[in-house]
Structure 1
C-alpha cells in the first residue's frame, strides 16, 4: 500500500463559492479526492480554531499534496470568484476511530489480518481491541 501525503488548506471567501470552485477544478483536473473538513467531520484545530475559521469566513479542505500546486495557481488566477488561500500546511499525522462488524467468519478473519498485519508503512494502530462473539446457532 502507498501512503499519499495530504495538505490542510484554508480558503477565505463565500463557502458556497469556495466549494463550487474547488469541485469544478477537481472534476476538470481528474483529481479523485478532496475532503471538506466540515462534511467529513475532520477536526483540524480544535473547537476554538474551528470557531475562529468560521468567524473569518474560512473553508477548510484536505487535499492531496500533488494537487496543491495546480490548485493554488487556479485560485490565484480566478477572477469571477472572490476567494483566496489563507494558509496551507502539510498534515503530519491523523487519527480516526473505527469499528467493524462482520457476519462471515472468513471475512472477519480477512479484515482482522489487514488491520493487524497489512497496514501501510508509518500507520500505527493504538488501543486496538477485538471483541469477537460467535453465534453457534447462526
Structure 2
C-alpha cells in the first residue's frame, strides 16, 4: 500500500495523532507514545481491522501487553466487538505459536460472538480447534 493510501486509511480510522506516525516506513506500532497510547493497542481496542491488519503485516507485536491496564491485544479486540479484528489477532498469535486462549478467554469469545453469523461462529470454533491442535504438536 502506498504511503498516501496508508495515510488515508489511518486518517479514516480516527487515529487521534498524526497519520505520519503510523505510515512512515519502519513505523513502530508498539512504541509507547505520549500519554501511553500504543498504536496497536488503540487499533485493537477500537476494532479497526484494516489498521490492525496493516500493523501486523508491518511488524506489530500482538504479544505486547498494555502497560496501563495489563490487557493484551486479543482482549482489547474482543472488547471492541469486531470479529474481524479478533480473528486477525488470533491468526497472528496462532502463527507465532502462542499458547491458545485459556478457558475464561474462550468463554468471553463465545459470549461475544454467540449471536454472530453462523460462518463467524464456525470460523471461531475452527480457529480454536486448530490452535489447540498446533499447541499439542509443539515440542515441549
Same-fold call, TM > 0.5?
no
Which one has the bigger helix percentage?
2
Larger Cα-atom Rg? 1
TM-score scaled by length of structure 1 = 0.24
TM-score scaled by length of structure 2 = 0.24
Which one has the bigger strand percentage?
1
